[in-house]
A and B are shown apart, each in its own frame.
Chain A
């Protein structure tokens, strides 16, 4: 059974600081990695995907992937109160649609 592990938090970060969210996965065959954001009572929305080792930047968000260590992270620079949400890590094997989510990390940005 594929596992995706995240620290459930809550993670509290001051406004303007960098928030660092971490995720580990058990299946070395995983090919695609995703970060979703979910506000309370709402549906998840995709922030970023990454499938190559290294960093991928999109605005204030940077995803980092290390396949050797089976580790993926999300950095949020210049954190804003609107970033307060639960962040879900998900992994997928290429060639099928089975997507496995972690339980999520609850992030709170303190003004």
Chain B
């Protein structure tokens, strides 16, 4: 089954404790992105990747890191999480750049205390 998987689905952590949210897709897609979704602010792009070893900032990259060492994986790293990073995070992948049929993962709900 074609899918995007994220782990963990739920995470409660404390300020400053490094964490990684994994994202993996099995569709051989070149393009992958991370978004955060907050009430009243909608979905905002954090980082995106157009291919292996090619990443770029979205609209809200501060406090986040990403890497794309393999085509299928695109982990999101929070080196020192803060409470303002409490949010719902989505990973997405797409094959076609123009039509951009993005397939979203199920989401990761992160709470930083």
| Cα distance, A40 to B3, chains bound together (Å) | 20
> Can you name 26 A-B residue pairings with CB atoms under 8 Å?
A1-B59, A32-B100, A34-B100, A42-B106, A43-B90, A43-B104, A43-B107, A44-B43, A44-B102, A44-B104, A46-B102, A49-B99, A49-B100, A94-B97, A97-B48, A97-B94, A97-B97, A97-B100, A98-B58, A99-B102, A100-B59, A101-B35, A101-B43, A101-B44, A102-B42, A103-B40
B interface residue numbers (CB < 8 A to A): 31, 33, 35, 40-45, 48-50, 56, 58-59, 90, 94, 97-102, 104-107
Chain B, Cβ-Cβ closest to A92? B100
User: A22-58 CB contact bits vs B (8 Å, 1 = yes)?
Assistant: 0000000001101000000011111001010000000
Task: Tell me if A107 is interfacial: C-beta within 8 Å of chain B.
Answer: no
Q: Which residues of chain A come closer than 8 Å to B31, judged between CB atoms? A: 97
Q: Which residues of chain B come closer than 8 Å to A104, judged between CB atoms? A: 42
If A32-B98, A32-B100, A43-B104 touch, whether A97 touches B33 (CB-CB below 8 Å) is: yes
If A32-B99, A97-B33 touch, whether A88 touches B58 (CB-CB below 8 Å) is: no
